């Protein structure tokens, strides 16, 4: 497979990405943390491609990226006041919220009844999400490989395995997002990241 590379600001970038996604393909693109690899959120075959491309164990869940907090009802079965508060405070940004997922979402996303959700703070990612809708997104690297922070790094690991890379220059964050589980009454930080526990708790108590 020949992996195409297109500047994320090129007018043909989003239409090309939409064509790949509609055909069940995988598109790599920059976010505010690291480069992500995406497929349409409601496409089981596309999601299966993500696991195959990365050599990723299917027991590991794949999160969704959203274009904004307004997309939450499409994918979350319930949005608690705490989730709404954190979304309003930190989205777009490096925060993933784990919430109960809608039953319509493909089983391929996760063996669990929850889903990780985030709105990235990056113009290329937001432009793609605005056009495509929610995307199933995992880091654009081979399973166990280093996170990719630019298009060259993506191609070094995934070149020939995916259809398209949107080149948006270096990913500015360089660190995966903070993950907060809000599927139970008491919030839990599942993965430390750019946002500290103190920041999360302060926002919840505000």
pLDDT (tens digit, 0 to 9) for every residue of the chain, 206 residues total?
A: 899 999 999 999 999 999 999 999 999 999 999 999 999 999 999 999 999 999 999 889 999 999 999 999 999 999 999 999 999 999 999 999 999 999 999 999 988 999 999 999 999 999 999 999 999 999 999 999 999 999 999 999 999 999 999 999 999 876 788 999 999 988 999 999 999 999 999 999 87
Domains of the chain: 4-205 (3.90.870.10)
Question: Is the Cα dihedral 97, 103, 105, 110 positive or negative?
Answer: positive
Angle 204-88-203 from CA coordinates, rounded to 5°? 20
Spatial distance between the Cα atoms of 139 and 117, rounded to a whole number of angstroms: 14
Q: At what angle do helices 81-90 and 197-205 cross, to 10 degrees?
A: 120
């Amino acid at each position: 497979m020949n992996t195409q590379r297109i500047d994320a600001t090129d007018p043909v970038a989003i239409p090309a990405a939409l064509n790949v996604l509609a055909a069940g393909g995988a598109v790599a693109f920059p976010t505010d943390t690291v480069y992500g690899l995406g497929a349409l959120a409601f496409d089981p075959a596309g999601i299966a491609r993500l696991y195959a491309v990365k050599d990723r164990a299917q027991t590991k869940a794949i999160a969704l990226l959203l274009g904004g907090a307004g997309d939450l009802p499409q994918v979350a079965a319930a949005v608690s006041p705490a989730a709404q508060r954190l979304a309003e405070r930190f989205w777009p940004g490096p925060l993933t919220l784990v919430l109960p997922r809608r039953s319509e979402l493909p089983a391929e996303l996760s063996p669990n009844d929850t889903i990780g959700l985030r709105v990235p703070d990056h113009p290329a990612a937001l432009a793609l999400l605005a056009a495509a809708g929610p995307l199933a997104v995992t880091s654009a690297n081979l399973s166990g490989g280093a996170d990719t922070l630019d298009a060259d790094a993506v191609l070094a690991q995934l070149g020939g395995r995916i259809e398209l890379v949107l080149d948006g220059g270096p990913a500015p964050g360089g660190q995966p997002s903070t993950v907060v589980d809000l599927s139970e009454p008491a919030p839990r930080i599942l993965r430390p990241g750019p946002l500290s526990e103190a920041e999360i708790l302060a926002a919840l108590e505000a």
